[in-house]
A = this chain, B = another copy of it.
Amino acid sequence: MHPRQSPTIDAVARAAGVSKTTVSHVLSRKRPVSQTTRNNVLTVMAEMGFEPNYFAQALSADRSFAIALIVQDLTNPYYPLLGRGLERAVAEAGYVVMLFDGAAQAEATEMAVRVALQRRVDGIVLAATVSEVSAAELRRAGVALAVVGSNPTLAEFDSVSADDERLAADAVGLLLGAGHRRVATIAGPANANPGGRRLRGYREALRAAGVSPELVMVATGDWTREGGEAAMASLLDRSPRPTAVFCANDLMAIGALDAALARGLRAPDDLAIVGVDDIDAAGLVRPSLTTVRIPSLEIGRTAGALLLNRLAHGGGAAVRHVLIQHSLVIRQST
C-alpha cells in the first residue's frame, strides 16, 4: 500500500536527534528554533527527501488549500482563460484548482457541487447555473464561494461579472445607431446567470429608443453554436424578418452567421450581427464578428482574489459584487 514510503516527520526527528515538535516548527516557522537546530533539521530533511504529508496537514488544519472551479462548458473558449486567470491568482497563495466541467447539464452541476464539498475544498468558483438543491447545499456548507456572472439566487455570495444589462444595451445601441429598427436577440437561457440580464438590457435599450414593442423579437439558445443556429433559423422564419441580431454570446453569434449564410443572407448587408465575449473565433470567422469583449482572464483572476480575501478574513468580510469593464470590438458583421 505504501510503495515508496516517503520519510515522516518522526523519521526526520529521530535522524536529527530532536522531537517531532521541533521538526514541525522548523517547517511551519510558528515558533522560534535555534539556528543550529534548524540548520541541522533542514539538512536532514534534504538528505532524506522529506516532504510533509499533505493529508495529515489538511486533516489537522481542516483546510485543503484547494479551490473548485465549476464551469458550464470548458469547450467554450471563454472558460479556459477564466481558468487560467483563477489558477494564477490562487497558485501563489498555495492553492490548487480542481476542475469540474460539463455543468451545462443540471445533474452534472449538482454532482460537481457535491463532490467539491466532499473533498472539502476551501472555496468554489461557480461559473454555471445551479439548482435550488445545490444552492441550499452551498449555503449550509459555508464554503467560500465566488459566483461568476450575477446570480440573484446567490446574491449573498461574492461575485464577478460583466455589467450584463449595460453591455447588452451598448451592443443594441450600436445596432440602433446604424439605423436598424427590427433588432432581434438570441438570448441565453432566461432563468440562468447572465442570460436574463442581457435580455433585459436588450429590451430596455429598445424601449428607451422608442422602438415599438411589437418589434421586440426574442429567440433563446443554449450558448452553443448549434443553439444559435437553430434560434437564428426561427427568427428568419418570421416576417418581416429582423435586420439585425444581438446574440448573447459569440458562439451563438457564429451559429447565427451559419444560419444566415444557409439562407443566402450576408452580414452585414442583409443582416447585422453582434456577439458577446470576443473569443478568438470571433476574429476568425468571415465576416469577422463585431462583439462585446469581456476579459475572461481578468474575471478568473478576480474570482480568485475574492476567494483569497474571504478565506483570509473569514465570513466577516462584506460581500462584494465586482463588475468588470467590457468594450465594443467593431468588426465586419455590423
**Chain A residues close to B by CB (< 8 Å):** 1-4, 49, 51-56, 58-59, 61-62, 64, 66, 69, 74-75, 77, 79-81, 83-84, 87-88, 91, 96-102, 115, 117-120, 140-142, 225, 254, 280-281, 284-286, 315
Known: A87-B101, A96-B115, A118-B51. A75 touches B81 (CB 8 A): yes
Known: A96-B119, A281-B284. A87 touches B102 (CB 8 A): yes
Q: Copy number in this complex?
A: 2
Question: In the complex, what distance in Å separates the CA atom of A81 from the CA atom of B101?
Answer: 10
A284 in complex: contacting residue of B61, B96, B120, B284, CB < 8 Å: B284
Tell me the minimal C-beta distance from A273 to chain B in angstroms: 14
Is A54 within 8 A of B280, CB to CB? no
Tell me the minimal C-beta distance from A78 to chain B in angstroms: 11
B-side contacts of A102, CB under 8 Å: 84, 87-88
B-side contacts of A140, CB under 8 Å: 4, 49
Tell me the minimal C-beta distance from A320 to chain B in angstroms: 20
B-side contacts of A119, CB under 8 Å: 54, 96
Question: In the complex, what distance in Å separates the CA atom of A117 from the CA atom of B142?
Answer: 29
Tell me the minimal C-beta distance from A315 to chain B in angstroms: 7
Is A98 within 8 A of B97, CB to CB? yes
Tell me the minimal C-beta distance from A68 to chain B in angstroms: 9
Is B2 within 8 A of A62, CB to CB? yes
B-side contacts of A286, CB under 8 Å: 285-286
B-side contacts of A115, CB under 8 Å: 91, 96
- Give 20 new A-B contacts, CB below 8 A, not counting A74-B80, A75-B77: A49-B140, A51-B117, A53-B120, A54-B118, A54-B120, A55-B62, A55-B64, A75-B84, A77-B80, A80-B80, A80-B101, A83-B99, A84-B102, A87-B100, A87-B102, A88-B102, A91-B115, A96-B98, A96-B115, A286-B286
Task: Report the 8 A-B pairs with minimum CB-CB distance, sorted nearest first.
Answer: A286-B286, A55-B59, A74-B80, A99-B99, A55-B58, A4-B142, A284-B285, A284-B284
